[in-house]
Structure 1
Amino acid sequence: MLFKDIPGLESIKSTLKRSVQNSHLAHAQLFDGPHGGASLALALAFSTYINCENRTDEDSCGICASCSKMQKLVHPDMHFIFPIATSKKIDGKTSEAFLSYWRSFVLENPYRVLPEWLDFINAENKQGNISVEEARGILGKLSTKAYEGEYKILLIWKPDIMNASSSNALLKILEEPPFKTIFLLVTDQSDRLLTTIVSRTQRIAIPAFSDSEVRQFLKRHTESDSLAKQVTFLSDGNLSEALRLIQETADDRSEWFADWMRSCYKFDVAQLVKLADSFDTMNKEKQKGLLEYALRLFRDMLIWSQGAGELLRVPEEELTFVQNFSKAVNFAALEKMVEEVNTAYYHIERNVRAKMVFLDLSLTMSPYFKRRS
């Protein structure tokens, strides 16, 4: 990964390159950005630049021995720790056992989110985890001198899901880091990290991609300007979501949501039971994705109902649905519906039976609709 491969974010790139050029490298850096943003891609480009043998002021050379190995993520001085889960594909309890899959996953697309990784390794409905044993084993990974580069680099993806024991083990290492070692922590939920870990890192705040940057990136993946424009609206700066949408023949979430809301409005219990059965067969991440989509549309409805429609970021057909739906519920009801969906999301995350959660949610929300007499 080179800096030139990442759309936009020129000021962040300049800051990172300047820190290498001036030899002002903090031993621990926190790449803190939004879901589906550039945090991981920038950390990889930064790692490539640090050990490049012929770097310029603009970028890594891309052809030296170090760059060639980084392009395949096989550089002996580059180490990775990331969440893992029990998988039918892999028998192992550390990131090392999953490393070949991780390389394929990241090289395919560096703008990734945790649910995609868990799907990639067939973790089914299991939660990802970075164990305390893995955190304690960091010193073993970094105990020797750098083999080829000037620095040893450890990239920790999603340290925010570490439990207290794992976090404390990492904290001890950050307090007394090995010589010529750089830690790159990549997160999209920095608020879940221990404040003591954050305080021992140099935080790099990475903004979401702008609409123009997303649209520019999507030109590599579609020749349809209208499709690129629609996906840009839906992804809201999330390149992971943008790529998923562009690769699908159709995004069925809007149709699913409309059918669900109509069934709630009609209080069609038989159809709601069918939808609950369908919801129950989905994997957990798709279930959460549908609830997240519902929350986004409810937010749009709240904005529309308050006369601030110019702030909405939705394609035309979705806007029409928002306008019509807003007539069927009042502001107070929408607020309660948002609370109910948030509660359902919480229960899904904690492995409550999805069919029960969804049916209960549907029956609870149905009375909030204004029906014609």
Structure 2
Amino acid sequence: MQFGDVIGQDHIKQKLIEEVNEGRIPHALLLCGNEGVGKLPLAIAYAQYICCTNKQSTDSCGTCPSCIKFKKLIHPDLHFMFPIVKNAKAKKEICDDYISDWRHFLEKMPYMSINNWLNELQAENSQAIIYARESDEIIRKLSLKSSEGGHKVSIIWLPERMHVVCANKLLKLLEEPPQKTIFILVSENPEMILPTILSRTQRLNIPRIEESCIANTLQTKYAIASADAQNIAHTANGSFVKALDAIHLNEEKRLFFDLFVSLMRLSYQRKIKEMKIWSESVAAMGREKQKNMLDYCQQMIRENFIFNLKQKDLTYLTIDEENFAKRFSPFVNEKNVIGIMNELSQAQRDIEQNVNAKMVFFDFSLKMIVLLKQ
């Protein structure tokens, strides 16, 4: 992947290119930003530029042997670490066991979310992490000499999902990295990474993609009409993942929307029996999907609160969500919005700590009865 394949982010691209050309390549770079802003594509493009044998002023050449291997993600000095789900039956326990699936999926969808990857893995109820054993694998790989005499690059996608044992061993590598070895960490929640690792990285915050860049890409690559592309780009709020969700049938987001609408109505009507059934249906979903749904609920509360303040330009709602907000938003106001968000955050923490999901969601739904009346 070249910098030219990355949507927008011209300032970030230029900064990374200058670092390479001026010999200021950090041994550990941390790319931080929201989902869908292009952190992973930037990391791969940066690694390709570093290893390119015929660098141009604005991009890698794309034609040298190194670039050709990068295009297929098979360069011997490019290593990936990413969250996986152990599959003892298939004997898949480390990232390399999934590397073919990873390469294929990344070529097809370079702008992806963790949820996209979990669906590809068919994770179901399992939570994906970077397991402790992975640290031994990366130590083994990086202890070898570069296959092509240049830099060795290890891209770690979502390091906040590393097992603590893996994180501590990575810390030792960051303290004394092998010669000409570069780590690129790609994170959406850097506050969840060990502080000792953060202190040894050079942090670069990746901003949201400009609406015009998203709209242009939708028009040229997906043949979306100009007006529709502009509307989708605004709704995406700087995330190309959300833009793709808007143009493709997203069954999961539709499910979350239906569940959110159902809960709000049941809570307002105080239908306790139906709320219990609702809680049980959500509890039957996998933990990752439950956390994603709670994320979606927080987003919807935020958007409805802003919508209720008559600040439509600051809201990012689809047509169906906006139609619902016209009726629901008056119930989200300055008296209860903080309380609702706090309860959603608490529910998310409980789910992450494996508290009984039926209890968590039923408890939250009961609290919504009181909060919606405020």
Fold conserved between structures, TM > 0.5: yes
- Cα offset, 1:282, TM superposition: 3.1
- The DSSP-based 3-state class of the residue aligned with 2:182 is strand
Relative distance call for 1:157 and 1:354 in structure 2 (3 A) is: same
**1:360 maps to what in 2?**
363
- The DSSP-based 3-state class of the residue aligned with 1:351 is coil
**1:293 maps to what in 2?**
296
- In structure 2, what is the Cα distance between the partners aligned to 1:329 and 1:303? 9
Q: Letter of the 2:193 partner, please give it.
A: L
- The DSSP-based 3-state class of the residue aligned with 1:327 is helix
Aligned residue pairs, count: 371
**1:232 maps to what in 2?**
233
**Residues 170-209 of structure 1: pairs in structure 2 closer than 5 A:** 170-209=170-209
Contact 2:305 2:332 in 1 (8 A): no
1:334 corresponds to 2:334: no
- The DSSP-based 3-state class of the residue aligned with 1:185 is strand
Contact 1:32 1:188 in 2 (8 A): yes
Q: Summarize deviations over 1:47-71 as a string: whole Å, max 9, x none.
A: 1111112221111111221111111
Contact 1:233 1:315 in 2 (8 A): no
**1:241 maps to what in 2?**
242
1:60 corresponds to 2:60: yes
Relative distance call for 1:183 and 1:327 in structure 2 (3 A) is: closer
**1:318 maps to what in 2?**
321
**1:106 maps to what in 2?**
106
Q: Letter of the 1:246 partner, please give it.
A: I
**Residues 1-373 of structure 1: pairs in structure 2 closer than 5 A:** 1-87=1-87, 90-219=90-219, 220-248=221-249, 252=254, 253-305=256-308, 308=311, 310-315=313-318, 318-328=321-331, 330-370=333-373
Scaled by the length of structure 2, the TM-score of the pair is 0.89
Scaled by the length of structure 1, the TM-score of the pair is 0.90
Contact 1:86 1:123 in 2 (8 A): no
- In structure 2, what is the Cα distance between the partners aligned to 1:232 and 1:305? 22
Identity of aligned residues (%): 36
The RMSD of aligned alpha carbons is 2.5
- Cα offset, 1:165, TM superposition: 2.6
- In structure 1, what is the Cα distance between the partners aligned to 2:56 and 2:285? 49
Relative distance call for 1:147 and 1:311 in structure 2 (3 A) is: same
- In structure 2, what is the Cα distance between the partners aligned to 1:23 and 1:328? 56
Q: Letter of the 1:283 partner, please give it.
A: G
Contact 2:260 2:297 in 1 (8 A): yes
- Cα offset, 1:178, TM superposition: 0.9
Name whichever of 35-44 and 356-365 sits farther off: 356-365
- Cα offset, 1:350, TM superposition: 2.9
- In structure 2, what is the Cα distance between the partners aligned to 1:70 and 1:168? 29
Contact 1:51 1:149 in 2 (8 A): no
- In structure 1, what is the Cα distance between the partners aligned to 2:234 and 2:257? 14
- The DSSP-based 3-state class of the residue aligned with 1:58 is coil
**Structure 2: 5+ residue runs without aligned partners?**
none
- Cα offset, 1:100, TM superposition: 0.9
- Cα offset, 1:319, TM superposition: 3.9
**Structure 1: 5+ residue runs without aligned partners?**
none
- In structure 1, what is the Cα distance between the partners aligned to 2:193 and 2:153? 20
- In structure 2, what is the Cα distance between the partners aligned to 1:186 and 1:329? 35
Contact 1:89 1:122 in 2 (8 A): no
- Cα offset, 1:22, TM superposition: 2.1
Name whichever of 333-342 and 217-226 sits farther off: 217-226
- In structure 1, what is the Cα distance between the partners aligned to 2:176 and 2:283? 48
- The DSSP-based 3-state class of the residue aligned with 2:331 is coil
Q: Letter of the 1:123 partner, please give it.
A: A
Relative distance call for 1:297 and 1:63 in structure 2 (3 A) is: same
- In structure 1, what is the Cα distance between the partners aligned to 2:300 and 2:201? 37
- In structure 2, what is the Cα distance between the partners aligned to 1:159 and 1:277? 32
Contact 2:118 2:128 in 1 (8 A): yes
